[in-house]
Amino acid sequence: MKNISKVGLIKESWVIVKENYKLIYALLIAFILYQFVQSLISAFFENSILSVLISLAFFVITVFLEIGFIKISLKIVDKKAAKFQELWAYPQYLLRMLGATILYSIAILVGLILFIIPGIYLAIRLQFYSYTLLDKDKNIMESLKGSWEMTKGNVINLTLFMFLIFAINFLGALALLVGLLITIPISFIAVTLLYRKLG
């Protein structure tokens, strides 16, 4: 990643967002509405015996939608035609994504318990597991291994990139949260673009 400009990634992502703003903002609106509905239902059943089942259901739905978001973002970055309907067009990946997400979460949790730093390190090294799974049709373990290999030797630069993304979204939040409508799409595309450049 030494030859990849972090600021250049952000600038290129902004150009991509502007070129595909209709689809990207349709996806953002869908995400916001989903989060709103999830919050309402979770709050309504907060003290109910069904709360655990509802949480599990939303976990599955969230992973399912994540598949669509990533597949669409890869097409956008690759300058291929993408449609909003693709958000729910890839059910064949769901079980693998659920398995990989659970393993990723367990690895991060164990790492955080071990004095936090290992958790952060694992989060950085394994962050592209979902991309390798969906982009290269890998199985659960191969997706995690693929991310591990892709990020080898790039931990410091990836950490700096994460701080840059955080800073951009923090500034977006300071702008009465309206700025997040710009910074969130840029951040998502930037991560996808980074994956492509590392790959």
Residue range 119-161, pLDDT digits in tens: 999 999 999 999 999 999 999 999 999 999 999 999 999 999 9
CA dist., res. 140 & res. 94, Å (int):
11
What are residue 42's phi and psi, to 5 degrees? Answer: -65, -40
Tokens at residue 49, please?
């015996």
Residue range 10-43, pLDDT digits in tens: 999 999 999 999 999 999 999 999 999 999 998 8
In this prediction the pTM is 0.93
> Which stretches within the chain are classed as H helix?
6-19, 21-44, 51-77, 94-113, 117-126, 129-136, 140-150, 155-174, 180-198
Ranges of each domain in the chain: 6-198
Look at residue 2 in the predicted model and tell me its pLDDT: 59
Question: Rounded to whole angstroms, what are the CA distances from 42 to 52, 65, 151, 167?
Answer: 10, 18, 36, 30
Question: Residues for the chain: how many in total?
Answer: 199
